[in-house]
Structure 1
């Protein structure tokens, strides 16, 4: 039981480290860089076989879902560990969108049927809200006309992979809509491992789940907070691989990593990644305990995006000509970091949220 003055627990438990090891082993065997690159060149960037192993085989789709609803009854801390590893592998699976965002919306509505379906991993859900929507920002809604849903919702992440869409409507309700009852038009995103689509509803039937506003806000807040853990995984991979490469790459018969200027750049990057780890862990812990959640999530996201982008940009540059090749996976991480920097609100939007929540004046521009 948390107390109002409880300090956040930023350390990993033994159970969390064991979970990390199991997820990393699976991704090492089934989600290598070459396979991910090959998928981005195909018409099916989403990897259903990997999703089945993660969701059904390991039961990770239901981590946030209570046991009485068929889930694992775990916390956001365990989900954060999974997302770190998925970020390290830029895994093309809808884990963040289904097991976190859609699940949180359904938890707010306490819809037993859909929660049990998502917990099993055999159903993929997606919240039909633009991926760039910040937790406190307005979001587009469908129109309710004659008992059915109409309208167009853009930039919906993993809509093509979803079996059910959670659609907010202008009557202030959230509706469950079968994915095959709508038109999903894929859009070419910067990050090919997380597909986007425009969802067109033309008289689609839907089942009301409950009030849309609190469900969407809860879902977007959890998505933003746990996205920081995915960004941590991306940044940590970039740092680790860059250090490894610079130890092996030689120039003037000495490792490039021994050059003082590069040491300084790597040291600065290490400090940034360590700080990102603290911010991401704090966000996951706040989502678990409910203590200062809004502020802690906003702080994490205001910091995570710039660090992940910086880490992948440095990785690309410090890999030299090799990093510029399509065969090297660094471009996957740079694109994921860039796309994530806009997901669930930009760093600027979250800084404004921090200012408001902490009662700090926003500096005047000009």
Structure 2
């Protein structure tokens, strides 16, 4: 019988959190994210460079012999918590987690080394809404080149290389400059979506798409819960701070009993989300009950993150309804994340199947 996992943060993980939070405070404050979200270039290259070249975080999941850090999903989860707390417009989840996991399955050592440095960004050309158990679209392989169109690809506009599944069952590495990437207007302006069109694009076959894509989407779903935890935790913390400062009838609004109850309920939800997200990250690290842990985390994470950000917007009153306040960025990230890598309903169905529980 395996030992119970320790879901508490280690000293090393807390030190990593502090370093990432300090870096984001310097490079990615709310005003900077708001300004970039309204621009034509949603990604922040300076923050990405600081995270990758400065701290080596793009290579957390890459083995040391390939130039990475050789860390675990637990450390990557801590980074994603902080990125979620800052709604940082960087392709960390899509490149350093999802694409990296696909490349690890294919043993594409040269590409992994390039991604570990952060100088190259990769994106898995599978629609963002698809979960680990979903069926993804493929392109046609004709006369050695790739043809077709793939929609809803997250962070394709920032990618140097796309990992494209084809109808022969293979996963192909395709240079971004060999395809047409058409940006689409997303709900979450900090994580852009695009349509990728391949018209005779050359590609390098990396391996079998089936296991690589499923592994990548499972890791994406599991660690997305940590990003959603960061979003929810920011919403709770900032709302409590604001309600302590805002006064009505010469007393802090946060002292009103009805608001105390709402905040207490939200705190309980965030605490439970932390446990579910940490369990998913630990399961991805150990390989024990991974599918169930990921499904449980995603079944719980999306409703909590959306609820926390909706409460933040309402309890901030009039200022929360303005574009100048960043709360709308967090609500949009929470809403977009709620359908990323599978909906909560789909993951609840997976939980029922894995635990042999009847579902409606």
- Scaled to the shorter chain, the TM-score interval is over 0.9
TM-score under structure 1 length normalisation: 0.98
Partner of 2:232: 235
Equivalent position SS for 1:285: helix
Are 2:27 and 2:46, in contact at CA under 8 Å, matched by a contact in 1?
Answer: no
CA distance in 1, matches of 2:59, 2:224: 18
Q: How large is the RMSD of aligned CA atoms in angstroms? A: 0.5
CA distance in 2, matches of 1:34, 1:146: 50
CA distance in 2, matches of 1:85, 1:41: 22
Q: Where does the alignment leave 5 or more consecutive residues of structure 2 unmatched?
A: none
Aligned-pair CA distance for 1:361: 1.2
User: How is 1:67-86 mapped onto 2 (pairs within 5 angstroms)?
Assistant: 67-86=64-83
Equivalent of residue 23 in structure 1, options 20, 29, 38: 20
Partner of 2:278: 281
CA distance in 2, matches of 1:40, 1:23: 21
Equivalent position SS for 1:344: coil
What per-residue deviation string (whole Å, max 9, x for no partner) do you get for residues 241-290 of structure 1? 00000000000000000000000000000000000000000000000000
Equivalent position SS for 1:151: strand
Equivalent position SS for 1:43: coil
CA distance in 2, matches of 1:9, 1:126: 32
What per-residue deviation string (whole Å, max 9, x for no partner) do you get for residues 43-72 of structure 1? 001011110110111000000000111100
The reply to whether residue 185 of structure 1 matches residue 182 of structure 2 is: yes
Aligned-pair CA distance for 1:5: 2.3
Aligned-pair CA distance for 1:6: 2.2
Partner of 1:8: 5
What per-residue deviation string (whole Å, max 9, x for no partner) do you get for residues 15-60 of structure 1? 0000000000000011011110100111001011110110111000
Partner of 1:150: 147
What per-residue deviation string (whole Å, max 9, x for no partner) do you get for residues 73-119 of structure 1? 00000000000000000000000000000000000001111000000
Point out 4+ residue stretches in structure 1 off by more than 3 angstroms. none
Aligned-pair CA distance for 1:234: 0.1
CA distance in 2, matches of 1:263, 1:321: 20
The reply to whether residue 106 of structure 1 matches residue 103 of structure 2 is: yes
The reply to whether residue 348 of structure 1 matches residue 339 of structure 2 is: no
TM-score under structure 2 length normalisation: 1.00
CA distance in 2, matches of 1:282, 1:362: 23
Q: Where does the alignment leave 5 or more consecutive residues of structure 1 unmatched?
A: none
Equivalent position SS for 1:160: helix
The reply to whether residue 160 of structure 1 matches residue 171 of structure 2 is: no
Aligned-pair CA distance for 1:9: 1.7
CA distance in 2, matches of 1:208, 1:297: 29
Equivalent of residue 59 in structure 2, options 46, 59, 62: 62
Equivalent position SS for 1:283: helix
Equivalent of residue 314 in structure 1, options 311, 316, 319: 311
CA distance in 1, matches of 2:4, 2:155: 36
User: How is 1:323-334 mapped onto 2 (pairs within 5 angstroms)?
Assistant: 323-334=320-331
The reply to whether residue 257 of structure 1 matches residue 293 of structure 2 is: no
